[in-house]
Structure 1
Amino acid sequence: MWGYLSLLPVLLAIWAIGGLWTVFSVAVANESVNLTRGFPYISLCGNYPPQSCIFSQVLNMGAALAAWICILRYHQLRDWGVGKWPNRLILWTGLLCALGTSIVGNFQEKNLRAIHLMGAFFAFFVGVLYFWLQLLFLWRMKHVPQPGAPWIGPLRLVLCSICTIFIVAMVVLHVWRMRSVSAALEWTAAMLLFILFGLFSVDFSSLEGCTLRLRPCSGGLSPPPASPIPLQVSL
């Protein structure tokens, strides 16, 4: 069972990347978007049915897989010795990224723009923060295991850097009304985030089992009664 967990991040990357480009293809095919007017944003492709239905399903399942991966990563970092509060901070940023992805899929831009943009903020900005926090704490903790080839760490650093630059540039170019270039950067940043999730397969390949830890209750348990309490029943 544990060997299959290493395939979970790859499954997320394939599902999300393939699903989003399927939404793009359907939107182009039924002329919901017009490529002659410029390259469309991801949200614009998922605005109208039938591709909006595919869009919601892809992002909802992607968010569920991402949340599961974040929880597994939390337990793995705990076992590697990452502190409780830094590890919880990493976990919650990852869960917010997953939540934002689900919000983007369920609240289309043309229906509820404010909520949609809030979800996009969680998905992109908090999502890339999730990976930066892991790079920071793992870099500071030299004793933490580094599964995989030596170039995996530098590759993550490069992908995080490029993704951050693209996300910031996406917002700036959108404000400058250079929408086609901004949309292309949005697609690229989304693909990079999914690839970063997919790289967790390298870390999960070392998982061999699950450990159950029991901790005593801080308040203590009340002592049992000295003798059984009789139950009186009227007949």
Structure 2
Amino acid sequence: MTAWIILPVSLSAFSITGIWIVYAMAVMNHHVCPVENWTYNVTCSEETARKGFPKTCCTPQDIPLISKCGCYPPESCLFSLIGNVGAFMVVMVCMLRYAQVIEHSDSCGWINTSALVCGCINALGLVMVGNFQVDHAKSLHYVGAGVAFPAGLLFVCLQCLLTYRIAETTLDYWMAHVRVALSTGALVSLVLSGIFFIHESFVLQHAAAICEWVFTVVVLVFYGTFTYEFGAVNNHTMMAALAQGGHHQGSGIIMGAVGKGVVMGCGAHSLKSPGASSTSTRLNCNPESMAIL
């Protein structure tokens, strides 16, 4: 078991807790209405609610979409921080997961690479969403959201496929089943959010906001499940990714590493169940490779 298990747990805990704090601040500051409110008016008279209590009269501008919750200070400052830090941790998780899959399987190349690209695009979208508030830079905010949400959904779907492809134990398959359930929930909630959002009905737009919250929390929980695999990460994990990159650059570059003990991917290779903490070692080379050298 390694300290890397802290990364996905921190991503989920920090982001989920953070966005709910942002929501609570927005409600208390009368910037949005609480999720339990389903009654909206076209216009409202002067607000009479006491400071520190939710609004008593709500307009469509007060629908508690995640973006609306982080639109005005002081909660917008925390919202931007969550978007930036969360995006950084997402990239770290995606890169480590990419390296781990390479370490365990050579037959998932395009799926693994696609998942890495989707994860990085998701992170880029999060940065745009967090730093360009919807009421102040609507176009850029919507571009970021339009990038982050589909990329995040595609990432979790590809990771479900990868989990099945490299599964070796019963626990590995159970984790794959859990991730399928989470990705299904993410898909349904995102589709419903999009369908409800385009309607003019205030009730449906409120339902869209709830579906958006569900989607975000489910995807963040999905990221947290990588704790299962990251307990087995060691120094060989990142080396596997580096060796893979070197292999694609040609044998001339790789052969230059012979003096360092790396010959065409021939060396000590860690083999383990994705969720296991114990490793076994084999010599990952064959006579044909040695003959070529």
TM-score range, shorter chain: 0.7 to 0.9
Number of the residue aligned with 2:75 = 51
Structure-2 separation of matches of 1:129 and 1:149: 21
Structure-2 separation of matches of 1:210 and 1:149: 20
CA contact (8 A) 1:93 1:129 kept: yes
Q: TM-score scaled to structure 1, two decimals?
A: 0.85
Matches within 5 A, 1:25-174: 25-35=24-34, 36=56, 37=58, 39-81=63-105, 82-139=107-164, 141=165, 144-145=167-168, 148=171, 150-174=173-197
Distance verdict in 2 for CA 1:34–1:135, change over 3 Å: closer
Indicate the structure whose relative CO is greater, using CA pairs within 8 Å and at least 6 residues apart.
Answer: 1
> Number of residues paired by the alignment?
218
1:4 equivalent to 2:3? Answer: yes
Number of the residue aligned with 1:17 = 16
Distance verdict in 2 for CA 1:112–1:205, change over 3 Å: same
Structure-2 separation of matches of 1:200 and 1:147: 16
Structure-2 separation of matches of 1:219 and 1:208: 26
Using the aligned pairs only, state the percent identity: 31
Aligned to 2:229, which of 199, 203, 218? 203
CA contact (8 A) 2:196 2:205 kept: yes
Compute the displacement of 1:148 (Å).
4.2
Structure-1 separation of matches of 2:224 and 2:137: 30
**Alignment-mate amino acid for residue 182 of structure 2:** L
Structure-1 separation of matches of 2:182 and 2:252: 48
Q: TM-score scaled to structure 2, two decimals?
A: 0.69
Structure-1 separation of matches of 2:113 and 2:121: 12
CA contact (8 A) 2:108 2:162 kept: no
Query: Which range moves more in the overlay, 40-49 or 113-122?
Result: 113-122
**Alignment-mate amino acid for residue 220 of structure 2:** F
Distance verdict in 2 for CA 1:146–1:173, change over 3 Å: farther
**Alignment-mate amino acid for residue 174 of structure 1:** F
* SS of residue paired to 1:48: coil
1:166-218: CA deviation from partner (whole Å, max 9, x where unpaired): 10100100112311111011011100000000000001112133353554764
Structure-2 separation of matches of 1:113 and 1:146: 47
Structure-2 separation of matches of 1:71 and 1:198: 15
Let me know the Cα RMSD of the aligned residues.
2.1
Give 5+ residue unaligned stretches, structure 2: 35-55, 254-293
Matches within 5 A, 1:163-202: 163-177=186-200, 178-202=204-228
* SS of residue paired to 1:7: helix
Distance verdict in 2 for CA 1:138–1:110, change over 3 Å: same
